[in-house]
Amino acid sequence: MESCFTDLVRLHQVSVTAAGLSAATVTWYAAQLRIYQAWCDQASIPDVIPSESVLESFIASQQRLGLKPRTVHARYRALAAVLNFAERRRHITRDQNPVHWVKPPRVPRERPRHVEYADLRAMLGAITSDRWIDHRDRLILRLLYFSGLRLGELCALQVEDIDLQRLEIFVRRGKGAKPRMVPTTPDIRQDLLAYLYTRPSAAPALLLASRGPLYHAGPRFSPEGVRTMLKSRCRNAGIQQYSAHAFRHGFAMAMRNNGADLSDIAAAMGHTSTQVTQMYYAFTLAPAVRNAYNSAFDRLQGRGNSSTQ
């Protein structure tokens, strides 16, 4: 039995690393838990399994700092992951796990900022030249918007991961190290072929960075490189700046507003359950609701039939 909470944190870090979670996820857990441990040190709280009152006191302290609700919830989630891990491994019993008795901090539902289709068209229309990096950037914009890829998933793509015949993308390592197949648009065919035929390297990696004033092919395009490219393309199109994740939200919102079920959106986005999808997109107006609304008020106002106002 592990008596120290720091021992459980260490074992949890080993477990998530062994499970193949991404380095970014492992680092995220460590960062959140360091904040809790620093708070315990400052409050002279012993290095033991937190009680319900200790867990609630920590969450309350984070609320008083004026942090965003999602930030406070993230710290709760990290603690809950360690405590639930400890229970599964029988280091603690269910009664010793405060997660079962403490209500999670509330996260207000917000409409995620997302790329509108009109803005995507503006960005594509502003790319007027035919250098290989222009073909690359067109391809990136379409992959982000029409396939909902995470930034890390996009940058990790290999050329062979895109099936132009089936219009599918193989994401080898999604969040949680889970692979998945993602549909894509027929417009990808022209963009991909133009890019592959013009880029100056036949590397296995799909997206390459450019190097030097002559735009020689460099190494694999990095997430930071994509972020810089998006800033430039948004500026050239005369629109607000969008992050790569805003394209992912745009993909989900477009699917939802055009008839897709939450379960289908969850599968395409690589969510582990529809709960995550529902948190962001369930409040989006479904087409069936809009159609029923239009029909009802058309009848009320005498539109679409023989009666008139």
Segment 133-169, tens digit of pLDDT: 999 999 999 999 988 898 999 999 999 999 999 999 9
What is the total count of domains within the chain? 2
Structure token pair of residue 178: 């889970």
- pLDDT, tens digit, 9 for 90 and up, residues 276-295: 666 666 555 555 566 666 67
Q: What's the rounded mean pLDDT across residues 157-185?
A: 85
Position 294 in a domain: no
266/149 same-domain check = yes
17/143 same-domain check = no
d(CA 7, CA 12): 9
Which pLDDT score is estimated for 292?
A: 67
CA proximity to 222, closest of 239, 210, 212, 231: 210
CATH number at residue 274: 1.10.443.10
Q: Which domain does 272 fall in, by range?
A: 117-287
Residue 78 pLDDT > 90:
yes
Structure token pair of residue 54: 């200790």
Q: Which among 70, 100, 130 is the end of a domain?
A: 100
94/243 same-domain check = no
31/144 same-domain check = no
11/159 same-domain check = no
Which pLDDT score is estimated for 43?
A: 94
257/140 same-domain check = yes
Position 304 in a domain: no
Phi/psi region, residue 203 (left: phi>0; alpha: psi -120 to 50; beta: rest), is beta
